[in-house]
Amino acid sequence: MLRGLCLLLTLTFTPLARADVADLSFPGIDGGSLPLATFAGQPILVANTASLCGFTPQYAGLQHLWERYRDAGLMVIGVPTNDFGNQEPGTAAEIKEFCEVNFGIDFPLSAKVTTRGADRHPFFAAVERELGTGALPRWNFHKFLIDSDGELVAAWPSHVEPTGATITAAIEAALGS
Give 56-98 pLDDT, tens digit per residue.
Answer: 999 999 999 999 999 999 999 999 999 999 999 999 999 999 9
pLDDT band at 177 (very low <50, low <70, confident <90, very high): confident
Q: For residues 144-172, give the mean pLDDT.
A: 96
- Residue 80 domain-assigned? yes
Is 132 within 8 Å of 30 (Cβ atoms)?
A: no
Is 81 within 8 Å of 140 (Cβ atoms)?
A: yes
- Residue 64 domain-assigned? yes
- Which of 34, 36, 53, 75 is catalytic? The answer is 53
Amino acid letter, 29: I
Is 6 annotated in the active site? no
Domain count, the chain: 1
Residue 15, pLDDT > 70, answer no
CA distance 140 to 165: 20
- Residue 1 domain-assigned? no
CATH number at residue 53: 3.40.30.10
Q: For residues 149-171, give the mean pLDDT.
A: 96
Domain range for 164:
16-175
- Residue 3 domain-assigned? no
Q: What is the pTM of this model?
A: 0.88
CA distance 135 to 144: 9
Per-residue pLDDT at 42: 96
- pLDDT tens readout for residues 106-150: 999 999 999 999 999 999 999 999 999 999 999 999 999 999 999
Per-residue pLDDT at 6: 37
